[in-house]
Structures are given as C-alpha cells and as structure tokens.
Structure 1
C-alpha cells in the first residue's frame, strides 16, 4: 500500500512526456499527481529574484539559463509543499524511465525508513567516480550512502525535515538545482540512494530545460578559469572533509 504522494514535474508544453510517464506508472498501479512545471522561458517567476547572476559568473564562469531557473523554481515549490504538508513525498521528472519492480518496492516500503534518511535519490548515479556503503535495506533494495551526489533531478524521496533544509540553504541561487542538491556538506543532508536504482533517464528526450547550453558565459580570461577551478577545488576539499568526519563518527558509534 502506498503511503506517500508522488508528484511528477511536467511542462504543459510536453504532453508526450506526460503520457509516457503516466503509462509507466499506471502499468504498475501507482497513483500520482502532475505538478505544472515553471517554464522560465515563458514567464518570469517571482522566485527568480533569488538568482544571483554575478555570483554564478564569478564561481562558475557562466549564467543559468531561463529553463534552468524554471527547473529550480519547480523543485523549490515542491519542497515548500512537502514542508507544508508535513509528510514525505516522492518527486519525479517526466523524462524518467521507471524500473517497475524496484520503484514499486521502494514506494511500498519507504514508510519503514527511519529519520536518518531525509533525502534519497532514486535514479542511477551519474558520476564516473564515487564510492558507496550500505546503510540499510528495504524489501528488494539497499539504501547506500554515497561519497558524491548523483547529479540530476530525475527522481527522489524527500521528508519535511529534508525539504526545510533545502529551502533554508536555497535562498541564494547561483548553481543549477541538481548541483545545489549535491552539496551535502552545505545542506547537512547526506547523499543517499538506492541500489539498484529505481529510475533512469530517458535519453530519447532532449532536455527541455537547457542543462547543456548556458545562456551566457563569462569571457574566457585566465582569471575566470582560475576562479572556476578554485571554486571546484574548494568544493572537492569540503566534500572530502565532510565524508571523513562522517566516516570517523560512524566508526566511533
């Protein structure tokens, strides 16, 4: 029996994606609700005021495009909904490919998870190099803690406490939402995911939020490259320190 609401982020201009994801979920008899995505290319949403382009250029050497801002706003609004409801939710994007057995197993067993897990990625890990360690298991799935975030926002499980953490640390936008969500050393929400993954990305659909192309890049001066590499190095160091402290704490318990 399903206990948590499932929300699917879908642009009104993408009816074929809506139909495809609906067919997948209906096939495994899983109830869901469509959540209208914010189309940043067509509307200037009030949440966009949180975006700091100067900071994005400073640390990343590029701007977020309007589609990326719309994606960020769409997820942000669902975090608010989760916090207001006071109940965990599952968020999916409409270009997800669902692994029927694994996804239904998670949906029907998620209520057994303890408060340790505020945020669990359900899709395939998309980084080339990472490590993971089993934290627990539910039904046919293992929940692992990962040394690096998954990249992407294809699908995840989120609790109200996790939503509040994301909202708290998301008042100043300068990164794509998936990269922000991977900064667990900032949000204090450790990186957990399922093995095997419950979802993957449907590569037959082109991105309609523009992750690949950026609207504006800083001039490729040497100092721009140095700033960006410095930021990336700083992020890697902070992640490494956080992981070391986490592992040390676990060994002492």
Structure 2
C-alpha cells in the first residue's frame, strides 16, 4: 500500500469532556493525529429521550434512554467529520482500554481492512467466526451488538450510516443498530486485529438506567413487523 494511505487515517475520540478521561486519552494518543468529538449536554438528550420514547418502543420493549441517545448522536457527529475529511477515520470511545498501542491501527494490514470492509471493528469480541479474516457481525448467530469502543469507517460507509440514521434514528442503541444491516445500510465487520476493549473501570456515556417498558399490544405488533422487516 502506498505511503500516502498510511497517513490518511485519523482517530476521533468520543468523550463527554471528563478531565480524567481526556488526560488518559491524551496519554494513549501522544504523537498521533487525533481529535476529540465532544457530546452535547446531557439535558439535551433528556429532551430527545421524551421525543423518541414511543418510536423506540416500536423496535424493542424498553425505550431508548438519554445516555443511549447521547452515545448515538456523538457517533454520528464523528461520522460527519469522517465524511467532511474525505479520509477514513477510526472512532474510539473515551472508556477504551488499549490491549496494544493504538498506533497498531496505522499499519498496512489494519488500514487495508478499513478500506476493504468500509466499517470494521478492532475491539475484543467473544464470538469469533474467523480468527484470520474479517467477518460480518450479522453472521454471528447469537445476534450480538457491534462494539462501538474502537472501529474504523470510510467516508463512503459513513455516508451510508448517516443515510440509515436519517430514517431510523434512535430506534435502538447504536451498538445494536450497527449490527443490523437493514437499519445501518451497510455490513459491519469484525477484524482479526484486536487492539482494544471496553475498560471495566469506566462507564460509557450510554444509559445509566433501564428504559421504560411498554405493554401496549399495538407496539408489540409493530415491533414484530419491524423485526421481520429489518431482520433482527
């Protein structure tokens, strides 16, 4: 691969701006090209939670929560940055724990996976289908969510994701949404290169409590229809 491709990938770190986490990320990425993507105030997500509560009940019994909305929205902001840059990006959450230095993702094989797959994950994953090549997470029969702690995406696939978001925003939490091709509008792949995991000592910016359950029979019918329509 040409040297210019090796310099074409940038890291985007999703964060609430917590000082300890920001300092931790700065240590991880010292000497690397990265940019923080800051989430909006939590109060904004509370309003969105009210707006999308009934809509999300049509996709799962528990409604989507403010923290889940915040996580989803901040990832979309990172996708837009990737699109505007015209270069692939590696999206990282600030509760990441790197097993291997993040610079590993600037090596040729990792960058090739990003270009070839379009959306590819570098996070530890229990349900490995192929230890040597990328595989689609939608092929995992256990129907596991797509880990959002560390993944690469091309501008073209980021456009696909934004297109899917425009149709089914906040229907499900982002990790589940990304694992469903008919919602996200593209396949998400798991890479054999594993460099990160979610830190057990740090929470995500997603929900801190469970969503409200719906017992409305009509929601149950629509939810069944959506499960068939979107195949999840």
Same fold (TM over 0.5): yes
1:175 and 2:172 correspond: yes
Consecutive unaligned residues of structure 1, counting only runs of 5 or more, are 240-253
1:217 and 2:213 correspond: yes
Residue 166 of structure 1 corresponds to 161
How many pairs align? Answer: 219
Residue 134 of structure 2 corresponds to 143
User: 1:200 deviation in Å?
Assistant: 0.2
* Contact 1:61–1:228 (Cα < 8 Å) also in 2: no
Alignment of 1:186-225 (within 5 A): 186-210=183-207, 213-219=209-215, 223=217
Cα distance per residue 1:63-92 (max 9 Å; x no partner):
222221111111111111211221111110
Partner Cα separation in structure 2 for residue 97 and residue 231 of structure 1: 39
Alignment of 1:91-110 (within 5 A): 91-101=91-101, 103-109=102-108, 110=110
* Contact 1:121–1:150 (Cα < 8 Å) also in 2: no
* Contact 2:180–2:231 (Cα < 8 Å) also in 1: no
**Structure-2-length-normalised TM-score:** 0.78
Cα distance per residue 1:166-208 (max 9 Å; x no partner):
0111113211111111112444422312224111010111344
Instruction: From the superposition, tell whether residues 238 and 58 of structure 1 become closer, same or farther in structure 2 (CA, over 3 Å).
Output: closer
User: 1:158 deviation in Å?
Assistant: 0.5
Partner Cα separation in structure 2 for residue 200 and residue 121 of structure 1: 11
2:74 aligns to what SS in structure 1? helix
Partner Cα separation in structure 2 for residue 230 and residue 33 of structure 1: 41
* Contact 2:122–2:193 (Cα < 8 Å) also in 1: no
1:170 aligns to what SS in structure 2? helix
Over the aligned positions, Cα root-mean-square deviation in angstroms equals 3.2
Find 1:19's aligned residue among 23, 26, 48. 23
**Structure-1-length-normalised TM-score:** 0.73
* Contact 2:58–2:220 (Cα < 8 Å) also in 1: no
* Contact 2:119–2:154 (Cα < 8 Å) also in 1: yes
Higher Cα Rg: structure 1 or 2? 1
Residue 7 of structure 1 corresponds to 12
Consecutive unaligned residues of structure 2, counting only runs of 5 or more, are 1-5
